[in-house]
Chains A and B, each alone.
Chain A
Amino acid sequence: MMTIARRFAIPLAVVVLLLAFPLATTGFYLEFTSKVMILAIFALSLELLVGATGLVSLGHAAYYGIAAYATVLLSPKFGAASGFWLLPATVACSALYALLVGALSLRTRGVYFIMVTLAFAQMAYYVFHDTKLGGGTDGIYLNFKPEVVLFGTKLFDPGKPVALYYVVLVSLVLVFLFLAVLLKSRFGRVLAGIKSNEQRMRAAGFATFPYKLAAFTLAGALAGLAGFLVAVKDGFVNPEMLSWHESGAVLLMLILGGMGRLSGAVLGAFAFALLQLFFQWEVVFGNFAKHWLLMFGGTIILCVAFMPNGLIGLPAQWRARRARKTMEEARA
């Protein structure tokens, strides 16, 4: 009973808090929270690969960036696109590239897989960085954000930050629920089996390659959703969205939050963004705030040293320590 309450109470409380958040604030904090929730979707998409299937990709920003670029490039020059076709189209772009990359890179494993995914992401990065297709290094603006109009009424007006905030929140909840159900399904069980021992899964009669490819493509598509949302939110994309720094950052969110649990990805995205925000706070750190990276880096190092299972693993870590202590006391 207790565990069920704990399992559903905390996520529910978080969602209610996030739903009520726009009542309390506007402006910067609203935009910031929207951004972090988009990052959480991005992190969740990578969690499907890294945490659930055990495939570490260092090129995940490619799918995020490709969808963002597709959002801008597919939008008509004059006038707003309809979200009804723009969203599926952009997500399809990312999914297609993920399918192609997955088909080739899943032939390698381990560190080699990390590097091949990086290589394909760098290729996409240089396509946008070096050619005129997307405005080169300067990036490109989205002049008209997509609208969602149904029977003559505007369901979504991208000009309003609050509207965007709720769209992002709903997307995050839907992605989370979708992945939760997916991982409980037969498909998710197979992925878990591949993570723990691929050889054994193959011996048990599963053709593992199609499962891995499906997970890879799906992760690319979900990252595409995050890329679409960020392009609509910012109205601007640049090649840095596809860079390996971005791929590294999203991986860091997962590790920080804790691997193997969906809530770890969300927690990691929030912790990552809040830590950055905190160390840039001039009220607390004064002039030293411009050297925030020093403290951020130091914190990351301490996190690795003291929380091997990430933030989400902390309660279990504490419980284990307490149990050990009582054991020792009982023995003494």
Chain B
Amino acid sequence: MDLPTFLVQCLNALQYGLLLFLVASGLTLIFGIMGVINLAHGSFYMIGAYLAFSLAPVFGGNFAATLVAGLMLAVIFGYALEWLFVSYLYERDHLQQVLMTYGLILVFEELRSILVDNDVHGVPVPKWLDGSVQLGDLMQYPVYRLAISAVCLAVAAALYVVIARTRLGMMIRAGSSNREMVQSLGINIKFLYRVVFAAGVALAVLAGMIAAPVSSVYPGMGAQVLIICFVVVVIGGIGSVRGAFLASLLVGIVDTFGKVLFPEAAGVSIYLLMAAILLWKPEGLFRQG
């Protein structure tokens, strides 16, 4: 592998890992704070991609406007979903959460099939990002992929600031370690949960929307992302956003280079990574208290 190819693969790994982080961060927050195993989280990614596809004509192909509208819809959707379904799951067993969110996946997939269709669609890359950067003499790298990485990094930074530096973040951190205590300190935990859930949904939808132009939009895209994100969450340690960040980069690197170096064993590589890490640290890299 020569240097430009290596560089391109590094950038691909970074972009893929950061995109995974957007989905996985929401998953780990919902998991760690609310204690809900949300299998439907991959569906939110899928919904995001389909929103990017079906909202594009409405806004005449203006990508930024589509993004904003999609995110607003996502927050409303997440808020309503928590209120209607997820809020019944807090006191329940993990297995029942698995069952109900599995039911939600089926409903979302079928609704998608009824409302849109079962074809594979492409979403055009926005015009002002539709260029490429020269790498070495022969290689080029699309600007849009760099833009994805930049957006994801910005979101990660914002997430860090919110969780580590603000009052809301303090409540979130407290809520993840002791629910009753937070409640008795007079914090409206129901509202907090609803906000966290809506934020998690919005992050996954955002990931789906910005990934749509590079990965195309197809049925079943949610299930694929879901399993990988669970791997990320578990490697990072449940409930730890920092862990999810490192783990998603790790998974991005291992998956990308696994595909290049050992195409035969590409599918296995991240699971080998996860098994190895969990056998070494049975609670993930950064288990929260």
Q: Tell me whether chain A's interface is mostly helix, strand or loop, or mixed.
A: helix
A111 cross-chain contacts in B, Cβ below 8 A: 31, 37, 94, 234, 238
B98 cross-chain contacts in A, Cβ below 8 A: 248, 251-252, 255
Asked if B279 and A107 make an inter-chain contact with CB atoms under 8 angstroms apart, the answer reads yes
A112 cross-chain contacts in B, Cβ below 8 A: 234, 278, 282-284
Asked if B264 and A297 make an inter-chain contact with CB atoms under 8 angstroms apart, the answer reads no
- Contact of B152 with A by CB under 8 A: no
Asked if A300 and B283 make an inter-chain contact with CB atoms under 8 angstroms apart, the answer reads no
Q: How far is the CA of A248 from the CA of B102 in the complex (A)?
A: 9
A308 cross-chain contacts in B, Cβ below 8 A: 92-93, 96
Q: How far is the CA of A298 from the CA of B274 in the complex (A)?
A: 33
Q: How far is the CA of A308 from the CA of B113 in the complex (A)?
A: 30
Residue of B nearest to A295 (CB): B110
Residue of B nearest to A290 (CB): B113
Q: Which of B8-16, B119-127, B139-147, B265-273 contacts A (4 or more CB under 8 A)?
A: B265-273
- Contact of A303 with B by CB under 8 A: yes
Contact string against A for B residues 72-113, beta-carbon threshold 8 Å, 1 for contact and 0 otherwise: 000000000000010010001111101110111111011101
Contact flag A304-B266 (CB < 8 Å), given A115-B234, A291-B110: no
Q: How far is the CA of A244 from the CA of B267 in the complex (A)?
A: 14
Which residue of B93, B231, B267 contacts A115 across the interface (Cβ within 8 Å)?
Answer: B231
Within 8 A of A (CB), among B237-289: 238, 264-268, 271-272, 274-275, 278-279, 282-284
Asked if A119 and B103 make an inter-chain contact with CB atoms under 8 angstroms apart, the answer reads no
B278 cross-chain contacts in A, Cβ below 8 A: 108, 112, 115-116, 119
Residue of B nearest to A254 (CB): B95
Within 8 A of B (CB), among A292-314: 293-294, 296-301, 303-305, 308
Asked if B282 and A126 make an inter-chain contact with CB atoms under 8 angstroms apart, the answer reads no
Asked if B279 and A298 make an inter-chain contact with CB atoms under 8 angstroms apart, the answer reads no
Which residue of B95, B100, B271 contacts A122 across the interface (Cβ within 8 Å)?
Answer: B271
- Contact of B227 with A by CB under 8 A: yes
Contact flag A300-B102 (CB < 8 Å), given A107-B282, A108-B282, A119-B231: yes
- Contact of B58 with A by CB under 8 A: no
User: What is the number of contacts between chain A and chain B, taking CB atoms within 8 Å?
Assistant: 123
- Contact of A256 with B by CB under 8 A: yes
Residue of B nearest to A120 (CB): B275
B100 cross-chain contacts in A, Cβ below 8 A: 300-301, 304-305
B104 cross-chain contacts in A, Cβ below 8 A: 297, 301
- Contact of B114 with A by CB under 8 A: yes
- Contact of B197 with A by CB under 8 A: no
Q: Which of A127-135, A163-171, A173-181, A222-230 contacts B (4 or more CB under 8 A)?
A: A127-135
- Contact of B230 with A by CB under 8 A: yes
B109 cross-chain contacts in A, Cβ below 8 A: 293
- Contact of A213 with B by CB under 8 A: no
Which residue of A109, A123, A259, A297 contacts B105 across the interface (Cβ within 8 Å)?
Answer: A297
- Contact of A56 with B by CB under 8 A: yes
B230 cross-chain contacts in A, Cβ below 8 A: 115, 118
B147 to chain A, nearest CB (A): 32
Within 8 A of A (CB), among B130-160: none
Which residue of B99, B114, B275, B279 contacts A304 across the interface (Cβ within 8 Å)?
Answer: B99
- Contact of A104 with B by CB under 8 A: yes
Asked if B274 and A303 make an inter-chain contact with CB atoms under 8 angstroms apart, the answer reads no
B99 cross-chain contacts in A, Cβ below 8 A: 252, 255-256, 300, 303-304
Asked if B96 and A304 make an inter-chain contact with CB atoms under 8 angstroms apart, the answer reads yes
B93 cross-chain contacts in A, Cβ below 8 A: 308
Asked if B275 and A298 make an inter-chain contact with CB atoms under 8 angstroms apart, the answer reads no
Q: How far is the CA of A291 from the CA of B215 in the complex (A)?
A: 26
A123 cross-chain contacts in B, Cβ below 8 A: 268, 271-272, 275
Asked if A56 and B95 make an inter-chain contact with CB atoms under 8 angstroms apart, the answer reads yes
Asked if A127 and B268 make an inter-chain contact with CB atoms under 8 angstroms apart, the answer reads yes
Contact flag A294-B114 (CB < 8 Å), given A56-B94, A112-B283, A255-B99: yes
B108 to chain A, nearest CB (A): 8
A213 to chain B, nearest CB (A): 15
Q: How far is the CA of A131 from the CA of B264 in the complex (A)?
A: 7
Residue of B nearest to A111 (CB): B238
Q: How far is the CA of A286 from the CA of B279 in the complex (A)?
A: 52
B265 cross-chain contacts in A, Cβ below 8 A: 126, 130
B31 cross-chain contacts in A, Cβ below 8 A: 111
Chain A CB within 10 Å — which of B37, B98, B114 has the most?
Answer: B98
A286 to chain B, nearest CB (A): 15
A205 to chain B, nearest CB (A): 24
Q: How far is the CA of A257 from the CA of B114 in the complex (A)?
A: 30
Which residue of A119, A248, A296, A300 contacts B271 across the interface (Cβ within 8 Å)?
Answer: A119
B283 cross-chain contacts in A, Cβ below 8 A: 108, 112
Which residue of A109, A125, A293 contacts B110 across the interface (Cβ within 8 Å)?
Answer: A293
Contact flag A297-B266 (CB < 8 Å), given A116-B275, A252-B102, A259-B95: no
Q: How far is the CA of A280 from the CA of B85 in the complex (A)?
A: 26
B271 cross-chain contacts in A, Cβ below 8 A: 119-120, 122-123, 126
Residue of B nearest to A248 (CB): B102
Q: How far is the CA of A182 from the CA of B168 in the complex (A)?
A: 52
9 contacts across the A-B interface (CB closer than 8 A): A56-B94, A119-B272, A119-B275, A126-B268, A248-B98, A297-B104, A299-B103, A304-B100, A305-B88
Top 7 nearest A-B pairs (CB, nearest first) are A297-B106, A300-B103, A126-B267, A294-B110, A297-B107, A301-B103, A304-B100
